[in-house]
Amino acid sequence: MFCHASRQVLALSLFPIPVNVHAVAARCLFGQAALGIDGYLKTRDRVKVQFLNLADNFRSKMLEFTQPASTNMIFTEDLKSMVHLVENKPADVELLQNMISRFNRQNKELRFGSFIFGPVVMRALHYLNLPDVALKVFKDPELDGFFDQLMSYQILMDLLYKNSMFKEVIEVFDMVQAKQIHGPKYPKNVVILAMAASYKLNTKEQLNYVMNVWKKMLELGHTPVRRAITFAAALAVNQNSPHVAIEILSCTQQPNYVTVRNLKIAALADLGRVEDAFPILRNVIETDVPDQKKQTFSKDVLDKLKRSVEERADPDVVKEFKHLEKALMEGNHLSDSSLDEHLCSEITLANAPGRQSGERNRAGFTGSLHQKPQYNYRNPPPRHYRTSLKDME
């Protein structure tokens, strides 16, 4: 079984197929609620109301404070305000970057608050759709540690994925692995995004990369979640390695999930083991329950199985397939959505994998991998703590 050993499977040479680069821009993999952007937008609206006619004066003052010759400090409340006022304008974006740099350079002993800026800054850049800026500040050596939160990694990688910057997603993933941080070495949501980017890149080299990561994860006792499993299996199918896909799919504890059963059918069709695919089809037909959500197969997957059946040219096999195909059609078990659409469907807050260690809420107060949070937006700060932006997220 792939989940427990099989280094031999990992070492198998793969048969290359033409590269299938997805030219169409990808959408976000994670929904706004799952990334905390919904909370960021609510706070953004509140800050705009608070500043009303003062925003331009605030920007002018911050511009003066960030000049090299200035001795003024950028306080936590200043940066909180700007990260929610920033617009998609070169001057605004540059000012935000300069404020972050200035704030980070200041004597750390003068910072007593527990507000963690990494995730909030990334949410702002995600909202403004500025992947190049987000990647630039993340890689800035002067800001080392500023974005060392699991949620910051996830938001950045999702933004890069959204803009079809799949190689950069993998680059960030590798950087995360190289960091010596407290927490899981392979955070679930970060792994999902890395596997999704690998699936989109769709090359033999990327499959080898995925297999290497997979092996390391298993050696450390990490169990990949279903989304990661299905992206990896789909990449294997696309790279003419259905045997690898079958072994990867054996890792999931949700064998009847729509993407899992579709991928099994696709892999078995490529292997020419069409009779092994029939029980999967039959199971959906026989377990059909009225008034419950239909279990379906994508038409593109069934078409692939049909071609494999026809290549066999076995009258009994063809007859059995036609019988099953008819039953699937009559029972409304065929979906117009392609397997790719199912695989890349948005992950909402309700079905997102469990929150990672240190990510207890979507506010900026928690999520650090290096310090213990003192309070969050559900537990207000002590009365003596003054903040100009109440309930900041």
Residue 55 lies in a domain: yes
pLDDT of 164 above 50: yes
Q: Band of the pLDDT at 294, cuts 50, 70, 90? A: confident
pLDDT of 183 above 70: no
Among 163, 185, 217, which residue terminates a domain? 163
- Residue 80: the pLDDT is 96
157: closest CA among 207, 197, 97?
197
The residue behind tokens 């993998």 is 170
Residues 63-82: pLDDT tens digits? 999 999 999 999 999 999 99
Residues in CB range of 323: below 8 A, 6 or more apart: none
66: closest CA among 58, 383, 138?
58
Alpha-carbon radius of gyration of the chain: 25
Domain housing 74? 27-163
Among 120, 135, 163, which residue terminates a domain? 163
**pTM here?**
0.83
β-pair partners for 30: 347
Give the whole-angstrom CA distance, residue 130 versus residue 122.
9
Q: Examine the domain organization and report whether 32 and 159 are in the same domain.
A: yes
Q: Examine the domain organization and report whether 157 and 36 are in the same domain.
A: yes
3-state helix, strand, coil in the chain (%, to 5): 60, 0, 40
- Residue 197: the pLDDT is 98
Q: Band of the pLDDT at 365, cuts 50, 70, 90? A: very low
Q: Examine the domain organization and report whether 272 and 152 are in the same domain.
A: no
Residue 115 lies in a domain: yes
Residue 126 lies in a domain: yes
Residue 229 lies in a domain: no
Q: Band of the pLDDT at 368, cuts 50, 70, 90? A: very low
Q: Which two tokens stand for residue 99?
A: 């404020």
Q: Hey, how many other C-beta atoms are within 10 angstroms of the C-beta on 244?
A: 26
270: closest CA among 240, 246, 232?
240
Q: For the ranges 197-201, 204-208, 221-225, 239-243, which has the lowest average pLDDT? A: 221-225
Q: Band of the pLDDT at 336, cuts 50, 70, 90? A: very high
- Residue 221: the pLDDT is 87
Residues 94-109: pLDDT tens digits? 999 999 999 998 866 5
272: closest CA among 240, 232, 299, 227?
240
- Residue 11: the pLDDT is 33
Residue 280 lies in a domain: yes
Q: Band of the pLDDT at 47, cuts 50, 70, 90? A: very high
Give the whole-angstrom CA distance, residue 23 versus residue 54.
44
Query: How confident is the model over 327-349, as a mean pLDDT?
Result: 93
- Residue 181: the pLDDT is 64
Give the whole-angstrom CA distance, residue 143 versus residue 227.
32
- Residue 182: the pLDDT is 62
Handedness of CA 235, 236, 242, 247 (dihedral sign): negative
Among 134, 163, 192, which residue terminates a domain? 163
Q: Band of the pLDDT at 26, cuts 50, 70, 90? A: low
pLDDT of 364 above 80: no
Residues 225-256: pLDDT tens digits? 999 999 999 999 999 999 999 999 999 888 88
288: closest CA among 334, 356, 251, 235?
334
pLDDT top residue among 349 and 107: 349
Alpha carbon separation from 22 to 120, 192, 194, 197 (Å, rounded): 30, 18, 16, 11
| Exposed/middle/buried for residue 57 (C-beta within 10 Å: 0-12, 13-18, 19+) | exposed
Q: Examine the domain organization and report whether 159 and 285 are in the same domain.
A: no
Residue 14 lies in a domain: no
Mean pLDDT of the chain: 83
Give how many domains the chain has, as a whole number. Answer: 2
Q: Examine the domain organization and report whether 42 and 155 are in the same domain.
A: yes
pLDDT of 8 above 50: no
Residue 200 lies in a domain: no
Q: Examine the domain organization and report whether 141 and 267 are in the same domain.
A: no
3-state secondary structure at position 287: coil
pLDDT of 348 above 50: yes
Handedness of CA 339, 307, 265, 214 (dihedral sign): negative
Residue 37 lies in a domain: yes
Give the whole-angstrom CA distance, residue 147 versus residue 53.
32
The separation between CA 106 and the C-alpha centre of its own chain, rounded to angstroms, equals 33
pLDDT top residue among 381 and 97: 97
